Structure 1
Amino acid sequence: MRFGLPRSPSPSPVRGYNRRSSAFGLHSDSESEPEGPLTDAEAESPPSSPSSDSFCFDSDAEASVPPPSKREPRSPAERRHVEETVAAIRLRTRHHDPYEEWEKQTRKDALRTARKEQTQTLLQTHEQRAQQRSQELQVLSVRHDQQMAEVQRLLSTLKLKHQTDINQMKTRWNEQDKRQRDRIEGVIRHEEEKLRIRLEAERKKREEEERKRKEEEERRRAEEEIKRQEDEQRRKQKEAEEAEKRAKEEVERGKRAKLDAEEQGRNRLGMTLAEEDWINARETLKNLKAGPMKTVKSDKAMKSQWSAIRRQITPKIGQLTQDNETISRISRQIYEIVHPSPPLGPDLYFAALSSLAKAILLQAETEVTAEKRSAIPLALVTANLIGSLEAFPDVFFAKLVQRSGGWPVPSVIPSTDSDGTAWNEIERTKAMGYRTNDGEKETPGDYVMRVSGMMRVYFLILAAPVRHPLDKMFQLPRLWSYFARMLGDERLLQTTVAAQLLHAALDVGGVEAKHIWGHQWVKLLEMLYEGATIGIGGSSTKLLGGQTPEGKAARVRVQLEIENIIRSP
């Protein structure tokens, strides 16, 4: 069974009733007057579906209203009545009214027509204004051309008159100047003629006297000229020799003055050349081997005592951990071993220092290569011993140069030894820090890792917190000198070892150096970064670390480390 509700009367177009009612007698939102003009998309949109202006639910679940929780349940007849009523309402809300659709479409068509007419009117108005403006511009252009022509004619007339006046004045001036010049030249010619006659007579008399005098003078001059040329030649030769001697002396004085000034400046600042540092370390090593070490090894009692000291030092170095108490204890114990009471003799003392430096470097070669954090306690103990043991800084640096070549300086190993003697192949290989086994040199990879381990300890010593300043070779400013020397030698920068060592130095002290030297350190890092990315000196064929796989990997690590330092606060 279905129920229907009476339909509300539709508004008649004759009565002008513009509002439409919904199925419940309420005005629909879609039938309200538009607040503004419709857009083209709205004007051209197709009529809505018959149920677009009606109120309806999407489903029966939305239409049903849950009964109050405290209300008594309805009887089956009541529930059926409610359901039928709701069905009738839903049916009414979906009713399609053709008149409403016609009225909506009529309104959209009227608005579209009005917009079209308005657009045409605006276009016509704009065209008329543009045409009027063009006509006005043409009139102004014609008037301007006429005025310019009049001005040009007037200027031409004035110019012609001015030129005529100038020509007349020039003509009068030229005539007057010609008359005056002719009169002056006539007087001058008359006086010159009188003077010429008198001078001619005097000249003839003078020429005769002059001829006789010249003959005598020519004879005497010829003799003097020969003598003068000989004297002049001797004088010029002597002056040339003296000038050449003075020039050489001046160049020598300039060179000596420059070298003296540079040396004095370096001495005042405590700076040295890379070659000087290498020579000093090499000489220290040679003196150590030829002096104390040779004496101790040749004396059986001293050699036995030296071996006992070595056996005590090696376990102490191997017991290091990252504990301040352990570091202090082992530093104190090693000091007591090397500096007992009563003290050792000079030769035995230097031999003990050499063994101590060798034990530290061997530990750096093995443990630091496997785990770089183990370099920290080793570097702290070394810094404590450098600050407390006399002559240990020179011995340790000499042993470091012995086992890693010129990289602690840094410097390329020269073609001759420190005393000027030429190398043989074995000696040069050993001076470069390479190990040999049965005549075979160690591989480049092993060499790079071993040197990197020792140099990491060295860089940590430079940055170690100490109570008293250490020797100048173990102070933090040495880090700046190290980078400056490395960047100043392209041969070093293109090696794999250089890239690996620069990364180790930046990892250890790059951030602290930025805090100390600020913008200058950043500029130095920019030069290094350019060498790692663009190329050394802007050349793409010269990159930091070279083209080996190890060099490329080290170059990337240097780039990343520099970026981290720049971003650090």
Structure 2
Amino acid sequence: MKFELPLDMVLVADTPQRHITYNAQESVMDILDQDIIPRSQPSTGIEEVFQKIQISINIHTEQRLAQLEQAGMDTILPYQNRIENARNMGQSTSDWLHQKFQRDLQLQASQVQAIIEAEKKSLALEQERIRAEQERIRKQLQEKIRKQEEERRRKEEEDRKRVEEEKKRLEEQKKRAEEERKKAEEEKRKADEAKVQADLEEKRKLEQAEKDRKAMEQAQKDKLASQKLYNGTNFASVEKDFLEYKQDITDIKMNVVRKVASNPDLKKAVSQLKRKINPKFGQLSQSNRQFQKINDELINLILTAKPQPLAFNWILNFVAKAIVDQAETEVIVQPAAALPLARLAISLLQQFPELEYYLSARFIKKCPLIIGFTRTIDTEEGRLQMGWRRRENKWEDEVKYDERLSGICTVWATMTRIPSNISQSSLYRLDSSWRFLARLMNTDANLLANVHFSVAANWWEATAKDFLKAYGHQGNKLLQVLTMPLLGSVSDKRFPAAARLLILGEEWFNNRKIQGIPEMTA
């Protein structure tokens, strides 16, 4: 801190300013008592005060001398002594004032020093207070940290104990689980061993049964092949034909479907054409005009693929699948839909003879009864060969199976009665219907199932009227065998479709009436 008098501090009180006048009777002390410095002016410091006093003395002396010179030299000498005394007194006064100011300055310095010492003491006390407060805060903080550390250690100890207890519990649980697992494994091992033994025994029995079945089938085939039972049906030859059609399906997948799939550009092109063709089958109706429109559109679409042989074959295979799929789904619900679909199939066969290879393979794969192929379905292979579907390791319902094959057979049977210029060996001529009935009636009664009579009843409704017109008396005899002796051979099995076929036969025999599929309109 700075302790001193301000530079602009006034040392004397304000009084009215007056001019100094000389009086012979005035002494220097009297002059000093006068206002030498105007009170209205601020002090400029001690040295400046002394200078002004000295100047005032000198001015007064000179004025006084000037007056004395005028008064005469006789009066000068006394005044010179007085002047000298005044000068000495002024010097003494100046010294006295200087000493006084020095004492005042020293007093002021001592006071300032006392104030400084007091401030230092106060500062020291404040610093001591701050140190004490800091020490208190430090101790509080240390105590807080100590408590937090103790709490942390306590929690860590609790967590450690809890982890150890949990670890111990898990180890015990793991131990129990391991014991249970070993026990379960042991039980499973014993069960597996028992199952393996049972499976081996079952497999041995199945293998033996399969051997016996194959031996029986082979014996039957040999017997049928050697004796040519029932008007000469050779079921060994029928099986050979069936396997050839199955091989055609395999060849189509290898040589057509997979090759197109491996060619992205060609696959894209045929997929676009497929999307245009597919809706046409669903647009068929009983109208001849609509049929002709769809027929022409399909022919034009298929012709666009003919320049590329692989694409053309792929499209023919797709068309064959579409025809059979439509027979599976649409004809089941609406039997009358079989006629426009059959007419469309015949038209396409006449326009594209190459289609027969793909369509025949597809028909026989889905409904092998068309060519008279039948085998037992007590094995997976037998069911697959007879056209059964399996999804999620579950075979389809028997009613659904019967309906699907009946729908396919209805379209095929309808195709056989439509006049065409297809070759004599084709599967789509009326003599194929004769072959179908003959082989059905020559089938071993032990192999007959409800599906045989279901497809026979659908064939009856689709083709029997035209069949009788074509074969006359011989056709009549064949239908009699179909509805009498054949049905009598399975009367104990009570097949629903056999009862339906019997009703159709009785209506014909009694009323000479066959209710066929309605003809198409204009």
TM-score w.r.t. the length of structure 2 is 0.50
CA deviation after TM superposition for structure 1 residue 367, in Å: 1.3
Q: How many Å separate the matches in 1 of 2:396 and 2:504?
A: 25
More helix as a share of residues:
2
Trace 1:380-399 onto structure 2 (pairs within 5 A). 380-399=343-362
What is the CA–CA distance in structure 2 between the aligned matches of 1:561 and 1:382, rounded to whole Å? 31
1:543 alignment partner, one of 491, 495, 511: 491
Amino acid in structure 2 at the alignment position of 1:359:
A
Counterparts of 1:9-24 in structure 2, within 5 Å, are: none
CA distance in 1 between counterparts of 2:281 and 2:504 reads: 31
Cα displacement (A) at 1:493: 7.0
Instruction: Note closer, same or farther for the CA distance 1:414–1:397 as it changes in structure 2 (3 Å cut).
Output: farther
1:378 to 327, 334, 341: 341
Which residue is equivalent to 1:464?
418
CA distance in 1, matches of 2:374, 2:285: 35
Letter in 1 for 2:484: E
Residue 251 of structure 1: aligned partner:
none
CA contact (8 A) 1:462 1:479 kept: yes
Does the alignment pair 1:410 with 2:356?
no
1:433 corresponding residue in structure 2 = 387
1:528 maps to a residue whose letter is: L
1:470, CA displacement in angstroms? 7.2
**Which consecutive residues of structure 2, in runs of 5 or more, have no partner in the other structure?**
1-224, 515-522
Query: Does the aligned pair in 1 maintain the 2:256–2:313 contact within 8 Å?
Result: yes
Contact 1:274 1:485 in 2 (8 A): no
Answer 1 or 2: higher relative contact order, Cα 8 Å, separation at least 6.
Answer: 2
Residue 509 of structure 2 is aligned to residue 563 of structure 1: yes
CA–CA separation in structure 1 for the residues paired with 2:446 and 2:358? 25
Larger Rg: 2
**Contact 1:379/1:460 (<8 A) preserved:** yes
CA distance in 2, matches of 1:553, 1:518: 25
The aligned residue for residue 245 of structure 2 is 281
Q: Cα deviation per residue 1:164-197 (whole Å; 9 max; x = unaligned)?
A: xxxxxxxxxxxxxxxxxxxxxxxxxxxxxxxxxx
| C-alpha RMSD over aligned residues | 3.5
**How far 1:558 moved relative to its partner?**
4.2
Contact 2:375 2:447 in 1 (8 A): no
Cα distance per residue 1:5-30 (max 9 Å; x no partner): xxxxxxxxxxxxxxxxxxxxxxxxxx
Aligned mates of 2:301, 2:470 — CA distance in 1: 37
- C-alpha distance 293-427 of structure 1, shift in aligned 2 (>3 A): farther
Map of 1:292 onto structure 2: 256
Indicate which of 408, 430, 446 corresponds to 1:454.
408
The 2-side partners of 1:505 and 1:552 are apart by: 13
Asked if the contact 2:342–2:414 (Cα under 8 Å) also holds between the matched residues in 1, the reply is: yes
- Corresponding position of 1:360: 323
Q: Equivalent residue for 1:339?
A: 303
Task: Tell me, yes or no, if the aligned pair for 1:357 and 1:399 is still in contact at 8 Å.
Answer: yes
CA 1:430 to 1:561, structure 2 compared with 1: closer, same or farther past 3 Å?
farther
Residue of structure 1 aligned with 2:461, choices 507, 513, 519: 507
Alignment deviations for residues 49-96 of structure 1 (CA, whole Å, 9 cap, x no partner) = xxxxxxxxxxxxxxxxxxxxxxxxxxxxxxxxxxxxxxxxxxxxxxxx
How far apart, in 2, do the equivalents of 1:430 and 1:335 lie? 34
> Is the 2:483–2:501 contact (alpha carbons within 8 Å) kept by the matching residues of 1?
no
Partner-residue secondary structure (3-state), 2:369: coil
**Offset at residue 324 of structure 1 (A):** 1.6
Q: How far is the alpha carbon of 1:561 from its aligned partner?
A: 5.4
Give the corresponding residue for 1:68.
none
Q: TM-score, normalised by structure 1?
A: 0.46
Q: Quote how far apart the aligned CAs of 1:389 are.
A: 0.9
Does residue 500 of structure 2 align to residue 554 of structure 1?
Answer: yes
Aligned partner of residue 370 in structure 2, secondary structure: coil
SS at structure 2 position matched to 1:521: helix
**Aligned equivalents of 1:339 and 1:470: distance in 2?**
26
